[in-house]
């Protein structure tokens, strides 16, 4: 039992490592995500430069940039396997659970990488208030992004065999992710306004519960999506 678990962990890590190496050599997702984030950020910065924005607007802009920047890259995780014909070799080599967990972790790492670039740039370009509770803001950004990755991974697997794959994902993902986005925006907004952990407890609890439910449901359903 222990041996099987250890081998599964090795398999998951091998898949994450393979995707990272493949990405670093092709730079498809990094480039599309980075350029989209940068152009949107600069556009937002220029168009709102003369206005003093409140915390709610800052939180909304931040999450809109994260959502749309990440969609094209997250969709690629399964689409590239189907398009390049490598999905069959994956299906022959590992259980659906290993594949899903590996892809989920890779998507989480990709989104965390996006946050590392976007958030400091946003603070710099948008002159965010020094009175914000930045620890809480980062907590919301990380938890919200992991929720985004969790829901998008299973959806990306579902759309990977459809015709208009890349454009389909944001449309399908939007209603599924709407509760996450609204909660994350509200929580980030309170944290940017300087709120403490008690004032956002319900938002944090919601995001954490959403994450547990979406990952559990995805693990249970993924084999039907992957093998049928």
Q: Which residues bind another protein (CB under 8 A)?
A: 4, 7-8, 10-11, 13-15, 17-18, 21-22, 25-26, 84-86, 88-95, 98, 227-228
What is the smallest separation between the CB atom of 188 and another protein, expressed in angstroms?
36
What is the smallest separation between the CB atom of 219 and another protein, expressed in angstroms?
16
Residue holding tokens 């599964």? Answer: 8
Identity of the residue, 198 or 227, whose beta carbon is nearer to another protein in the bound complex:
227
What is the smallest separation between the CB atom of 99 and another protein, expressed in angstroms?
9
Residue-wise DSSP of 33-51: HHHHHHHHHHHHHHHTTTS
Identity of the residue, 102 or 150, whose beta carbon is nearer to another protein in the bound complex:
102
Helix (H) / strand (E) containing 132: none
| Alpha helices in 127-164, H assignment, sequence order | 134-159
> Largest alpha-carbon pair distance within the chain?
62
Identity of the residue, 18 or 165, whose beta carbon is nearer to another protein in the bound complex:
18
Contact indicator for 65, 44 with CB cutoff of 8 Å: yes
What is the smallest separation between the CB atom of 26 and another protein, expressed in angstroms?
6
Contact indicator for 200, 187 with CB cutoff of 8 Å: yes
Identity of the residue, 124 or 224, whose beta carbon is nearer to another protein in the bound complex:
224
Identity of the residue, 20 or 125, whose beta carbon is nearer to another protein in the bound complex:
20
Radius of gyration of the chain, Cα coordinates, nearest whole angstrom: 18
Contact indicator for 122, 38 with CB cutoff of 8 Å: no
Identity of the residue, 13 or 124, whose beta carbon is nearer to another protein in the bound complex:
13
For residue 44, give the nearest of 114, 127, 110 by alpha carbon.
127
What is the smallest separation between the CB atom of 78 and another protein, expressed in angstroms?
14
What is the smallest separation between the CB atom of 224 and another protein, expressed in angstroms?
11
42 alpha carbon, distance to own chain's centre:
21
Helix axes 96-126, 2-26, angle to 10 degrees: 50
């Amino acid at each position: 039992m222990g041996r099987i678990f250890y081998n599964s962990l090795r398999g998951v890590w091998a898949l994450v490592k393979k995707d990272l190496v493949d990405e670093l050599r092709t730079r498809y997702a990094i480039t599309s995500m980075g350029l989209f984030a940068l152009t949107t950020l600069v556009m937002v910065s220029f168009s709102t430069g003369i206005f003093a924005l409140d915390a709610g607007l800052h939180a909304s802009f931040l999450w809109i940039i994260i959502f749309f920047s990440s969609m094209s890259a997250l969709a690629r995780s399964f689409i590239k396997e189907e398009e390049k014909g490598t999905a069959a070799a994956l299906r022959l080599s590992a259980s659906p659970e290993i594949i899903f967990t590996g892809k989920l972790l890779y998507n989480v790492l990709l989104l965390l990488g996006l946050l590392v670039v976007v958030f400091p740039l946003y603070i710099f370009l948008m002159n965010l208030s020094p009175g914000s509770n930045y620890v809480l803001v980062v907590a919301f950004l990380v938890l919200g992004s992991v929720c985004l990755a969790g829901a998008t991974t299973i959806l990306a697997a579902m759309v990977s065999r459809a015709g208009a794959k890349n454009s389909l994902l944001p449309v399908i993902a939007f209603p599924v992710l709407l509760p996450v986005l609204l909660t994350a925006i509200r929580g980030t907004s309170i944290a940017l306004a300087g709120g403490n952990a008690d004032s956002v407890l319900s938002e944090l609890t919601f995001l954490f519960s959403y994450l547990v439910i979406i990952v559990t449901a995805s693990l249970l359903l993924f084999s039907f999506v992957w093998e049928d």
